[in-house]
A and B are shown apart, each in its own frame.
Chain A
Amino acid sequence: MRAIGIVLAGGNNHRIKELTKKRAVCAMPIAGSYRSIDFALSNMSNSHINKVAVFTQYNAGSLNEHLASSKWWDFGRKQGGLYVFTPATTAESNAWYRGTADAIAQNLSYLKNSHEPYVVISSGDCVYKMDYNKVLEYHIEKKADITVVCKDMAADVNVDRFGTIKMNEDCRIEEFEEKPIVAKSNTISCGIYVVRRRQLIEMIEKCAEEDRYDFVKDILIRYKNMKRIYGYKIKEYWSNIATVDDYYKTNMDFLNPEIRNYFFRQYPDIYSKVDDLPPAKYNTGASIKNSLISSGCIVNGKVEDSVIFKKTYIGNNCYIKNSVILNDVYIGDNTHIENCIVESRGTIRANSYHKGENGIEIVVEHNDRFVI
């Protein structure tokens, strides 16, 4: 085993609005059957990284429920395993995680007690498939101190919520700006890093001494001229879900057969907690066009260009269009839902009408549900 893993899953983002009222961003449901963190965890497992730590903080409960057993990602092993670190008061500290570097600093023993030479760090709110071994090979070949996975975004994408990167012809990072007002480059950091374990310990300890807490600002940007920081560019699919629009778009991307094929049919697989739901059921009157339907759903109405998550009930004569319906939603008869994200466990009364007029509307409705 050459590397251990860290998944950063503690953050919240106001740009995803009420969808994180009850859950962490990394616990957001994705593509019908998964949650955001499944992608990072499956990548770790598929890259044979057996020892992985997940740092949680904001709404940690939702993630803990999902991570209650590590067997789904094949981490239930004698060697390695899944470690969930939620802030705790200790003899040394009674602070929350004040940033990503602080989260690692507060759990430094995890790094110190490992013997693997490298650490792979990933954020848990990104949807992608990656063999970290390839980044690791590159990291070694470049004799880098830190390797940052990065991607060229299309020219029309606003990158002001990402870290932007400029590299020289050798791919060494020359400029790194966090959330720039005016971006000088359309190459962004994907929030995936490879670093030597001892190097990381050293830098994190230094940061902690100086009361600095952020991995990007206080390590990547601060050290960029001192240390050899390299960019590893990917062309494959990668998406961050931490805004409502990106979250919506990422889910809709799975209606594209190429993306579905890439994630679902090409080895290796993405794993998730198994829910033991029955097959989806379509009754007379159901009509589904270009949509994803998950297990446990019962459909009586019309669905077009939508992603329906698990265990959703769609009543007679409903019309669902361009929408994302999260887990376990009950939609009463004759309801019209268009351009919406419907929050999970919602109950929508019969004859309701929801249409996102200027962009995506988030529907959170918890009416009484009468189950037969």
Chain B
Amino acid sequence: MVKKEMIAMLLAGGQGSRLGVFTSKVAKPAVSFGSKYRIIDFPLSNCINSGVDTVGVLTQYQPLRLNTHIGIGIPWDLDRNIGGVTVLPPYEKSANSEWYTGTANAIYQNMDYMESFNPEYVLILSGDHIYKMDYEVMLDFHKQNGAEVTIAVMPVPMEEAKRFGIMITDKDRKIVDFEEKPANPRSNLASMGIYIFNWKTLKEALLTNAEQPGLDFGKHVIPYCHAKGAPLYAYEFNGYWKDVGTLNSYWEANMELIDIVPEFNLYEEYWKIYTRSEILPPQYLASDSVVERSIIGEGSEIYGKVYNSVIGCGVTIGAGTVVRDSIVMNETHIGSNCELYKAIIAENVEINDDVKLGVGEEAENETDPHIYNNGIVAVGEKSVIPRGVSVGKNSVIFGVTSAEDYGNGALPSGKTLIKAGDK
């Protein structure tokens, strides 16, 4: 009989709406990060590096890119005879068919998958954080304490604690209480959304609470286990961990990679991050190019000037173009004599010659100021920007645009120009 000590369930179904146009066609875990990677590469690489070789990936929102990226798991060595990676979308049942209505509900709907591996422990992960973590060490901690549930936590500054789920523990890190986004936090240990459950405990909790609408780990399952008296422990993690849920934090996390010795170091020998690489050739930097404080992916051709930026694979940047403080994702083409300031350009975008992005006065975004702010210009995937236009700050462009869309050849700061995607 198949027996896996610990299997992982990776929640990758969320939209991540605070990333705006970047998640309008792609699930957040499939959004590109750090030039050649996608966000889901980090938890998947952590799994294989921690010796967890059975991973169920729960998908729901816009799964196409995610499915193609994961494939049969070859890049992460997760193509296994027994176990490996399995994509788990919601499916129709003879009765009570439903979408995944909550994090724990999604896990509940895949009870048979978990059961088939006869596990001792189940690791619950989410697909939207950038970090390197050895889940095996966390499992050791879980076993040593005889815990039924272990929650990974991270100390955060006290003033920020009110944005998180906070765990209150005794001196042995046993959880005595917890509070969701408290006004007056009693501790600064924030839950990272990473849990290890004893399979028996998880199964019982899911079955008992199956009828709960929108069954959620933080809101229902953990409180249920606690109320029942199961030993809950907090595993403190002190490494780099970044939630890239907002455009700002996404931009910042990318920019941190270009520091001289980045806090999150991709160049370390051990604990490699794996990804699907379709583009292999080296990058070419032309005679008139200038590249400083940047990282650039395979197969890109740089004829212009790039400062403080993260450039993906297969990108071309034309002569005389200046790219500053920007993120450019895979296969995007930028023409000649353009200027880009603090722009985030998604994949397969076509920017014609003499375009200026991120110029002019600050102005609040007209439609979604909570998403597009801090002067960032966002350009969604497969967009086309016609020759010679200039675009202000806090603006968004998505879709094939032509000169008529820009009054006087300009899109003022704070404007939203969306011609693609779900309306």
Nearest CB in chain B: distance from A2 CB, A:
28
Rounded to whole Å, the gap between the CB of A262 and the closest CB of chain B is 12
Of A32, A34, A282, A371, the contact of B295 (CB 8 Å cutoff): A282
Q: Inside 8 A of A32's CB, which chain B residues have their CB?
A: 281-282
B291 cross-chain contacts in A, Cβ below 8 A:
282, 286, 288
- Judge whether B295 and A280 touch: CB under 8 Å: yes
CA distance A272 to B35 in the complex (A): 20
5 further interface pairs, Cβ-Cβ under 8 Å (given A279-B311, A289-B289, A292-B283): A32-B282, A34-B280, A285-B292, A288-B285, A293-B296
The docked-state distance in angstroms from the alpha carbon of A216 to that of B181 is: 78
Q: Which of B74, B266, B282 contacts A292 (CB 8 A)?
A: B282
Interface bits A179-190 vs B (CB < 8 Å: 1, else 0): 000000000000
- Bound together, the chains give a CA A31 to CA B282 distance in angstroms of 7
A-facing residues in B269-319 (Cβ within 8 Å): 269, 272-275, 277, 280-299, 310-311, 313
Chain B residues with CB below 8 A from A289, complex form: 285-289
Judge if A114 is at the interface, Cβ distance under 8 Å.
no
For the complex, what is the distance from the CA of A284 to the CA of B275, rounded to whole Å? 27
Given contacts A282-B292, A282-B296, contact A274 B277 (CB under 8 A): yes
A281 to B, closest residue via Cβ: B295
Chain B positions within 8 Å of A290 at CB level: 285-287
Q: How far is the CA of A280 from the CA of B284 in the complex (A)?
A: 11
Are A263 and B74 in contact (CB-based, < 8 A)?
Answer: no
Q: Are B36 and A279 in contact (CB under 8 A)?
A: yes
Cα distance A308–B298 in the bound complex, in angstroms: 13
Please tell me if A33 contacts chain B, counting CB pairs below 8 Å: yes
The interface bits of chain A over 249-285 (1 if a CB of B lies within 8 angstroms of the residue's CB, else 0) are: 0000001010010011000011110101011111111
CB neighbours of A298 from chain B (8 A): 267
Residues of chain B at interface, number, CB under 8 A: 38
- Of the candidates B280, B285, B289, B296, the one whose C-beta lies within 8 Å of that of A279 is B296
Q: How far is the CB of A70 from chain B (nearest CB, A)?
A: 13
Best-surrounded residue of A279, A284, A287, A292 (most CB of chain B within 10 A): A279
The 9 lowest CB-CB distance pairs between A and B, nearest first, are A32-B282, A278-B266, A279-B35, A294-B282, A288-B285, A264-B281, A292-B282, A279-B295, A290-B287
A164 within 8 A of B: no
Contacts of A98 in B (CB 8 A): none
* Chain B nearest CB, measured from A278 CB (Å): 4
Contacts A274-B75, A286-B291 hold; do A280 and B296 have CB atoms under 8 A apart?
yes
Q: List 5 A-B contacts (CB under 8 A).
A: A32-B281, A279-B311, A286-B291, A290-B287, A295-B298
Which residues from B are CB-within-8-Å of A269?
280
* Number of A residues, CB within 8 Å of B: 40
Min C-beta distance of A347 to chain B, whole Å: 15
Question: A322 within 8 Å of B by Cβ?
Answer: no
Q: Is the CB of A295 within 8 A of B297?
A: yes
> Cβ of B258 < 8 Å from any Cβ of A?
yes
Closest partner residue, chain A, to B269 (CB atom): A371
* Identity of the chain A residue whose Cβ is nearest the Cβ of B302 in the assembled complex: A288
Given contacts A264-B299, A287-B290, A298-B267, contact A278 B280 (CB under 8 A): no
Q: In residues 48-89 of chain A, which contact B (Cβ within 8 Å)?
A: 71
Closest residue of chain A to B309 (Cβ to Cβ) is: A282
Contacts A34-B280, A290-B286, A293-B282; A276 near B267 (Cβ below 8 A): no
Closest approach, in angstroms, between the C-beta of A113 and any C-beta of chain B? 27
B282 touches A33 (CB 8 A): yes
Contact of A296 with B by CB under 8 A: yes
In whole angstroms, what is the CA distance A282 to B277 when docked? Answer: 21
A307 to B285, CA, bound (A): 11
The verdict on B84 contacting chain A, using a C-beta distance below 8 Å, is no
| Interface-central residue, A274, A281, A290, A307, by most chain B CB under 10 Å | A281
Whether A279 and B284, one on each chain, are in contact in the complex, defined by CB atoms closer than 8 angstroms, is no
Q: Is B282 a contact partner of A281 (Cβ separation < 8 A)?
A: no
Report the nearest A residue to B299, measured CB to CB.
A264
Closest to A289 in B: B287
A45 within 8 Å of B (CB atoms): no
Q: How far is the CB of A65 from chain B (nearest CB, A)?
A: 17
Contacts of B290 in A (CB 8 A): 287
Chain A nearest CB from B23 CB (Å) reads 23
Q: Tell me, yes or no, whether A291 is within 8 Å of chain B by CB.
A: yes
Contacts of B277 in A (CB 8 A): 274, 276
Q: Given the complex of chains A and B, what is the CA–CA distance between A65 and B67 in angstroms? A: 31
A270, B298: Cα distance in complex, Å: 14
Say whether B293 contacts A282, CB under 8 Å. Answer: yes
Q: In whole angstroms, how far apart are the Cα atoms of A295 and B296 in the complex?
A: 8
Docked Cα-Cα span, A278 to B258, in Å, equals 12
With A and B bound together, what is the CA distance between A293 and B34 in angstroms?
A: 18
Beta-carbon contact of A260 and B295 below 8 Å: no
Q: How far is the CA of A295 from the CA of B314 in the complex (A)?
A: 13
Provide the residues of chain A in CB contact with B296, threshold 8 Å. Answer: 279-280, 282, 293
- Select from chain B the residue with minimum beta-carbon distance to A292: B282
**Interface status of B1 (Cβ within 8 A of chain A):** no
In the bound complex, residues from chain B placing their C-beta under 8 Å from that of A280 are: 283, 295-297
Residues on the A chain within 8 Å of B295, using CB:
278-282
Set of chain A residues within 8 Å of B283, measured between Cβ atoms:
280, 292-294
Q: Across the interface, which residues of B come within 8 angstroms of A264, CB to CB?
A: 281, 299
Q: Which of B260, B282, B285 contacts A295 (CB 8 A)?
A: B282
**Which among A260, A278, A289, A307 has the greatest number of chain B C-beta atoms within 10 A?**
A278
Say whether A292 contacts B284, CB under 8 Å. yes
Q: Cβ of A309: which chain B residues have Cβ within 8 Å of it? A: 282
Query: How far is the CB of B84 from the nearest CB of chain A, in Å?
Result: 15
Task: Please tell me which one of the listed residues A71, A272, A279, A291 contacts residue B297 in the complex, with CB atoms under 8 A apart.
Answer: A279
Contact of A33 among B260, B280, B289, B311 (CB under 8 A): B280
Task: Give the complex CA separation of A307 and B266 in angstroms.
Answer: 23
B287 surroundings in chain A (CB, below 8 A): 289-290
Are A286 and B292 in contact, with the CB atoms below 8 A? yes
Report how far A275 CA is from B93 CA in the complex, Å.
Answer: 42
On whether A274 and B285 interact (CB within 8 A), knowing A279-B297, A282-B291, the answer reads no
Residue of A nearest to B283 (CB): A293
A33-B298, A281-B258, A283-B260 as given contacts; A291 in contact with B284, CB under 8 Å = yes
With both chains docked as a complex, state the minimum distance between the C-beta of A312 and any C-beta of chain B, in angstroms: 11
Name B275's closest neighbour in chain A (CB-CB): A276
In whole Å, how far is B93's beta carbon from the nearest beta carbon of chain A?
35
